[in-house]
């Protein structure tokens, strides 16, 4: 059955499925190409008549995920220039305005889209939330650092989408005064932006630590791509390169990058315009956490886990300035673990778990979780991204990571915690304080643990 809603730019036609109204591919900004390429987003042009919103809109230009991750992480590619679009799921029947959740997908700022089946928002709408998911510019288009273009264009896209929510979401039954953003990658940096004030009221960070780099460091990938293509490292020069050639160069330069290594990649830069150099405290309530064995998504399928020898681990420790006493502590806790497992656990904590704990300590109120259920697929265990099907209650769409028969009660519990946090600010366990309560999501049982593996966590600065 069709359903019609109005927006500031015109009317859209969606569909109703099991009591949920679904609107897909609504533009929140104009296509970022032609004279608008490498520029800040501008509002979408109004339209006349009824715009079809029954199919996902175009995805941002991106190369495929590098193998072997491409076999585990589907990444749909929908062609078209109108890639600054969003999707809305809302209950067909509702009483008053509902809390809003805005999903900002991850993918190392170079991959991903809102059209992945695992991000289907039906379960959130079923449970009384208006769910919005967005696309934003990725890779060189969204996060390439140029001397002749604004920085953090992908982040500016996210802010434009949040502005659209403020201006339009009441027409879909959502409360613009109760907006929770959740996701990975750039969400933590978004929270530090003065431009986000009034657009975000709560936030959930899933394995997405607060990380920014200097403009000089952020420009490294642009310089590498410029050398590979034989052009100057400017937005003007890149804008005349064939888009396919640009994506090929981006793929080759960044294929070895992941959140746990220092290879060239894309990052949010501290530009003192969108993102301050000294972010200070986060002003909104937080739900933050990570998966217990994040590193295994990158170390296991690639075979790195088996290739990392004791000598390679020592070299990595020197590179990342990890003291020997820290390695001995992690080794003692993991008797019989391979060097790659010890190194993976240390880098997960140094680059993800400890920064999230620091952020929780700076927030006005925070709740902390850990996802611990081990996937049987390829010995991935509780790897990066495994929690997504549980959060969205879409396990049927992520068997590539979970395998068949993933525990539905765990999805029920985790999904409910996210809904409750967005609705009331209370996911169901104690706030973060000196006792360090962490909700450990696992099967057959989940429960709060005080200061889990605290000796390891304290190996990294928690008050920086």
Every domain of the chain and the residues it spans: 1-280, 294-363+372-422+429-464
Give yes or no: 294 in active site.
yes
Q: Which two tokens stand for residue 186?
A: 């750039």
Task: Tell me what pLDDT residue 192 has.
Answer: 85
Looking at the chain, the whole-number percentage of residues with pLDDT higher than 70 is: 97
Task: Tell me what pLDDT residue 186 has.
Answer: 67
Task: Name the band, by pLDDT with cuts 50, 70 and 90, for residue 210.
Answer: confident
CA dist 414 and 431 (Å) reads 17
Q: Which residues of 163-201 are buried (b: 16+ CB within 10 A; e: fewer)?
A: bbbeebbeebbbebebbbbbbbbbbbbbbbbebbeebbb
448 phi-psi bin (left φ>0, alpha ψ -120 to 50, beta other): beta
Q: Which of 185, 375, 446, 459 is catalytic?
A: 185
Judge whether residue 231 has pLDDT over 90: yes
Q: Which helix (H) or strand (E) holds 303?
A: none
Task: Tell me what pLDDT residue 262 has.
Answer: 58
The position carrying tokens 């589907």 is 74
Q: Which of 153 and 277 is assigned the larger pLDDT?
A: 153
CATH, domain 1-280, list 3.40.50.1820, 3.40.30.10, 3.30.70.60, 3.40.50.1950 = 3.40.50.1820
Q: 111-145 pLDDT, tens per residue?
A: 999 999 999 999 999 999 999 999 999 999 999 99
Task: Name the band, by pLDDT with cuts 50, 70 and 90, for residue 211.
Answer: confident
Distance from the first to the final alpha carbon of the chain: 54
Q: Average pLDDT in the 214-220 region?
A: 94
Task: Name the band, by pLDDT with cuts 50, 70 and 90, for residue 245.
Answer: very high
Q: 288-320 pLDDT, tens per residue?
A: 999 999 999 999 999 999 999 999 999 999 988
CA dist 318 and 297 (Å) reads 23
Q: Which of 105, 201, 367, 384 is catalytic?
A: 384
Q: Which of 294, 341, 370, 387 is catalytic?
A: 294
Task: Tell me what pLDDT residue 463 has.
Answer: 61
CA dist 57 and 154 (Å) reads 17
Judge whether residue 464 has pLDDT over 60: no
């Amino acid at each position: 059955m069709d359903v019609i809603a109005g927006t500031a730019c015109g009317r859209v036609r969606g569909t109703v499925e099991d009591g949920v109204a679904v609107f897909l591919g609504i533009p929140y900004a104009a296509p970022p190409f032609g004279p608008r390429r490498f520029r800040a987003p501008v509002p979408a042009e109004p339209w006349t008549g009824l715009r079809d919103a029954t199919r996902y809109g175009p995805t941002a230009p991106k190369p495929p995920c590098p193998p072997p991750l491409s076999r585990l992480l589907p990444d749909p590619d929908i062609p078209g220039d109108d890639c600054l679009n969003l999707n809305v799921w809302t209950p067909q029947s509702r009483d008053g305005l509902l809390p809003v959740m805005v999903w900002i997908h991850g993918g190392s700022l170079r991959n991903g889209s809102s059209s992945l089946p695992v991000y289907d928002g039906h379960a959130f709408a079923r449970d009384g939330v208006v769910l919005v998911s967005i696309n934003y510019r990725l890779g060189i288009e969204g996060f390439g650092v140029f001397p002749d273009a604004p920085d953090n264009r992908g982040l500016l896209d996210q802010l434009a989408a949040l502005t659209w929510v403020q201006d339009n979401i009441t027409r879909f039954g959502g409360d613009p005064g109760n907006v929770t953003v959740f996701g990975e990658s750039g969400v933590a940096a978004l929270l530090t932006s003065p431009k986000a004030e009034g657009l975000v009221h709560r936030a959930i960070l899933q394995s997405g630590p607060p990380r920014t780099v200097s403009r000089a460091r952020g420009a490294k990938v642009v310089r590498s791509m410029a050398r590979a293509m034989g052009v100057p490292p400017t937005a003007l020069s890149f804008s005349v390169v064939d888009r396919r050639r640009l994506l090929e160069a981006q793929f080759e330069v960044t294929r070895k990058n992941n959140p746990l290594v220092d290879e060239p990649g894309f990052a949010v830069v501290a530009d003192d315009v969108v993102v301050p150099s000294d972010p200070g405290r986060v002003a909104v309530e937080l739900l933050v956490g990570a998966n217990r064995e994040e590193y295994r998504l990158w170390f296991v399928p690639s075979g790195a886990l088996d290739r990392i020898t004791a000598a390679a681990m020592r070299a990595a420790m020197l590179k990342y300035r990890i003291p020997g006493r820290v390695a001995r502590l992690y080794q003692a806790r993991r008797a019989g673990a391979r060097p790659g497992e010890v190194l993976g656990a240390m880098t997960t904590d140094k680059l993800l778990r400890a920064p999230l704990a620091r952020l929780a300590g700076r927030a006005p109120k925070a709740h902390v979780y850990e996802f611990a259920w081990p996937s049987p697929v390829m010995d991935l265990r509780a790897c990066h991204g495994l929690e997504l099907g549980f959060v969205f209650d879409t396990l049927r769409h992520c068997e590539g990571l979970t395998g068949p028969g993933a525990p539905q009660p765990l999805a029920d519990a985790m999904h409910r915690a996210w809904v409750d946090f967005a609705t009331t600010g209370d996911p169901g366990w104690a706030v973060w304080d000196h006792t360090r309560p962490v909700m450990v999501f696992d099967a057959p049982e989940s429960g709060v643990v005080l200061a889990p593996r605290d000796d390891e966590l304290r190996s990294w600065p928690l008050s920086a």
